[in-house]
Amino acid sequence: MLIRSKAPLRISFAGGGTDVPPFQEREGGCVLSATINKATYGTLRPRSDARIAIESVDFGLRLIWEAGDLVYDGKLDLVKAAVRKFWNTDGAGYALFLESDVPPGSGLGSSSSMMVTLVGLMKEYRGLAMNDYEVAHLAFVIERRELGIRGGMQDQYAAAFGGFNFIEFEKDRVVVNPLRVSRQAINELEHNLLLCYTGMTRLSDHIIEDQTIRYEQQEERTLEGLRKQKVLAVEMKNALLHRRLDDFGSLLHEAWASKKKISPRISTERIDELYEAAMKQGALGGKIMGAGGGGYMLFYCPFEKKHAVAHALERLGAAPTSFGFAFEGLQTWQVPEAEANQNVASLAAPPASVQGTEERRLDPALAAAAVRAPIPPASGPA
């Protein structure tokens, strides 16, 4: 029996940064976000030995360990941390096959989505009953506390719950408020929003660290930017629920202006160039996804001008892409072996010649193919 799981990626409209400690602990944060039909995927297949095998398409790595040899060494540490959290002494090994619709460092919350996917696999394998809050919290604990990866809390909760959410972060509590956005507003958003890959991935650790230092030092611009993000998250939520979508687009511009105040590392010359080009062609607003520095940008455009915005971005070497919204969060299911795709068969059987750890780089074309994989239609599950 195979176990599979998937968790959606997200776009964040406003409030990013307010979910990052210590701001979230001291002043409380809130984020307006929605999940999209790009996702992370995982498969778990039991093995006949006690080894743990992991194959990651995104990083082009295949690793095999004895269970007791799982150490953090910079190679798939995110996966190792999930395995260690759920490991028991029953001596049963398994193989994991992992992939994502976007490259790492996209700004769409892919690492946290993958952690939620992993928690989904592990809880299903171990037969544990966990609700969405528990899944999201455990994913946060593993990623941020066990591994010490700097960042906020919004991505784990978005991936676990799915849909449009207004998420509130307090010192000891997170509240996910699902939003009943009308189908007409969703259709219009899908018509008018444009997601664009800048061509650069980024590591958010240094940006988050800089934000934290500036907040601790009570820098005026950082405080202003973070507090304005909270105000704009509420205003954008209200505009969305009342179908004032042009106002929503203009508020997205304000959200970007306030986000840049949080840290000078959030934007770059490249990002500013793309943003200026989009606005000149009629976009009402936009922002970088995630912490900043690279990855994907999001723009709100009147539909009649969306093609001109896309062409302007393409001329600058960026890659606009279509997307739809997804309304399911984490999904897990089981597949009888006879019905399963055999794409992880090589990991299921114990290798005859391996002693200790095996590492094999995957074909780069395979990794690229995963990134270019067709996106499912907006009406289907994420």
Per-residue pLDDT of 127-171, as tens digits, reads: 999 999 999 999 999 999 999 998 999 999 999 999 999 999 999
So what's the pLDDT on residue 205? Answer: 59
| 381 domain-assigned | no
In the chain, which residue ranges form alpha helices assigned H by DSSP? Answer: 23-27, 77-86, 110-126, 132-140, 154-161, 183-192, 205-216, 220-241, 245-262, 269-280, 303-315, 345-348, 364-371
Query: Residue 201 — pLDDT band, cuts 50, 70, 90?
Result: confident
So what's the pLDDT on residue 202? Answer: 65
pLDDT at 375 over 50: no
In whole numbers, what is the pLDDT of the chain averaged over residues?
88
Higher pLDDT, 185 or 344: 185
Q: What is the pLDDT of residues 278-298, one digit of tens each?
A: 999 999 999 999 888 889 999
Query: Rounded mean pLDDT of 296-320?
Result: 96
Q: Are strands 94-100 and 51-56 parallel, antiparallel or unpaired?
A: parallel
Using an 8 Å Cβ cutoff, are 331 and 322 in contact?
Answer: no
Region for residue 101 given its phi and psi (left: phi exceeds 0; alpha: psi -120 to 50; beta: otherwise):
alpha
Distance between first and last Cα of the chain: 23
So what's the pLDDT on residue 359? Answer: 43
| 304 domain-assigned | yes
pLDDT at 338 over 70: no
Q: Give me the residues paired with residue 207 across strands.
A: none
**CATH number of the CATH domain containing 181:** 3.30.230.120
252 phi/psi in degrees, rounded to 5? -60, -35
**Helix or strand or coil: residue 168?**
strand
Q: Per 3-state DSSP, what percentage of the chain is helix, strand, and coil (rounded to 5)?
A: 40, 25, 35
Q: What is the pLDDT of residues 4-20, one digit of tens each?
A: 999 999 999 999 999 99
| 99 domain-assigned | yes
Number of other CB atoms surrounding residue 226 within 10 Å = 25
| 379 domain-assigned | no
| 20 domain-assigned | yes
Q: Which domain holds residue 269?
A: 2-371
| 167 domain-assigned | yes
Distance, CA of 199 to CA of 185 (rounded, Å): 30
Domain count, the chain: 1
pLDDT at 181 over 50: yes
| 96 domain-assigned | yes
Least confident of 94-98, 191-195, 243-247, 373-377: 373-377
Instruction: Report the catalytic residues.
Output: 155
pTM, rounded to two decimals: 0.88
| 268 domain-assigned | yes
Distance, CA of 248 to CA of 240 (rounded, Å): 6
Using an 8 Å Cβ cutoff, are 65 and 22 in contact?
Answer: no
So what's the pLDDT on residue 89? Answer: 59
Q: What is the pLDDT of residues 42-91, one digit of tens each?
A: 999 999 888 999 999 999 999 998 866 788 899 999 999 999 999 875 66
Which residue type, as a one-letter code, is found at position 260? Answer: K
